[in-house]
């Protein structure tokens, strides 16, 4: 039974990891994401406030993932994130090597694809349009005032355990079994979804994901030999 649907993480998987440079006395963090890059651009105080939310999440103080992300977006608003800053950051992030060729190959075979990410809707939309990805779920959709300041947002719980719920929805709609589905990701937040598919790929990944994935790969294009 072949793979009919590939679920993909976005940051660090489709797009390259964002390397954040920290100045003297600034807090460092193991995650390199667009979220953290934007916090860094907003200044040290934004980074400190963001780190407090991470500590709260890791200690289980948040009632839900939505509450955590809402606090993060409030930090963006508090410290003056602008649409120009946001768009420039998204446009500057390259795909990982082999991503474009792999998606083209998968789609030529008739395999459907779906982004499920805790990242930004605008970033997912960029990848979906360019790579012709079939479906996309991302966490944060930002709304801007006419002068480009952050006004409001919509949040979807599409990370950690929430990734599994969005995956199951598509599987049910297509009537695909878990053996007909695969996933590729890089973070420990992908552990939950990796355990719910027939094949899972840990791409240059966190050790906790490598421990549960069926395959560990260093090059994105390696997944073609296991899915084709």
- For the residues of 124-171, what is the DSSP string, one character each? HHHHHHHHT-SEEE-SEEEEE-TTSBEEEEEE---STHHHHHHHHHHH
Does 87 share its domain with 100? no
Does 9 share its domain with 83? no
Q: What is the pLDDT of residues 110-128, one digit of tens each?
A: 999 999 999 999 999 999 9
Residue-level pLDDT at 29: 43
Does 108 share its domain with 83? no
How are beta strands 199-203 and 112-116 bridged, if at all?
unpaired
CA dihedral (134, 189, 121, 150) in degrees, to 10, reads 180
Does 143 share its domain with 58? no
pTM: 0.92
Give Cα 85 to chain centroid, integer Å: 19
Domain boundary among 61, 91, 121: 91
As a whole number, mean pLDDT of residues 76-96 equals 96
Residue 28 lies in a domain: no
Residue 132 lies in a domain: yes
> Does the pLDDT at position 21 exceed 70?
no
Q: What is the pLDDT of residues 38-53, one digit of tens each?
A: 998 999 999 999 999 9
Q: Are 163 and 174 in contact (CB under 8 A)?
A: no
State the Rg of the chain over Cα: 17
Residue 64 lies in a domain: yes
What backbone torsions phi and psi does residue 55 show, to the nearest 5 degrees? -60, -40
Residue 196 lies in a domain: yes
pLDDT band at residue 28 using 50, 70 and 90 as cut-offs: very low
Does 133 share its domain with 165? yes
Q: What is the pLDDT of residues 197-214, one digit of tens each?
A: 999 999 999 999 999 999
Does 219 share its domain with 167? yes
């Amino acid at each position: 039974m072949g793979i009919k649907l590939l679920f993909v993480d976005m940051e660090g998987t489709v797009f390259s990891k964002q390397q954040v440079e920290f100045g003297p006395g600034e807090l460092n963090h193991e995650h390199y994401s667009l979220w953290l890059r934007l916090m860094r651009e907003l200044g040290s105080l934004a980074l400190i406030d963001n780190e407090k939310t991470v500590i709260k999440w890791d200690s289980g103080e948040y009632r839900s993932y939505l509450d955590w992300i809402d606090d993060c977006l409030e930090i963006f608003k508090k410290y003056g994130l602008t649409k120009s800053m946001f768009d420039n950051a998204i446009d500057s992030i390259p795909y990982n090597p082999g991503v474009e060729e792999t998606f083209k190959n998968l789609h030529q075979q008739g395999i459907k694809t779906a982004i499920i990410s805790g990242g930004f809707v605008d970033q997912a939309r960029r990848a979906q349009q360019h790579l012709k990805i079939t479906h996309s779920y991302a966490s944060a959709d930002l709304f801007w005032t006419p002068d480009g300041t952050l006004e409001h947002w919509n949040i979807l719980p599409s990370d950690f355990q929430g990734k599994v719920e969005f995956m199951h929805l598509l599987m049910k709609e297509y009537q695909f079994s878990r053996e007909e589905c695969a996933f590729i990701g890089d973070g420990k937040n992908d552990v939950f979804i990796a355990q719910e598919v027939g094949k899972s790929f840990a791409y240059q990944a966190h050790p906790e994901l490598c421990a549960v994935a069926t395959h560990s790969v260093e090059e994105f294009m390696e997944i073609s030999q296991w899915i084709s």
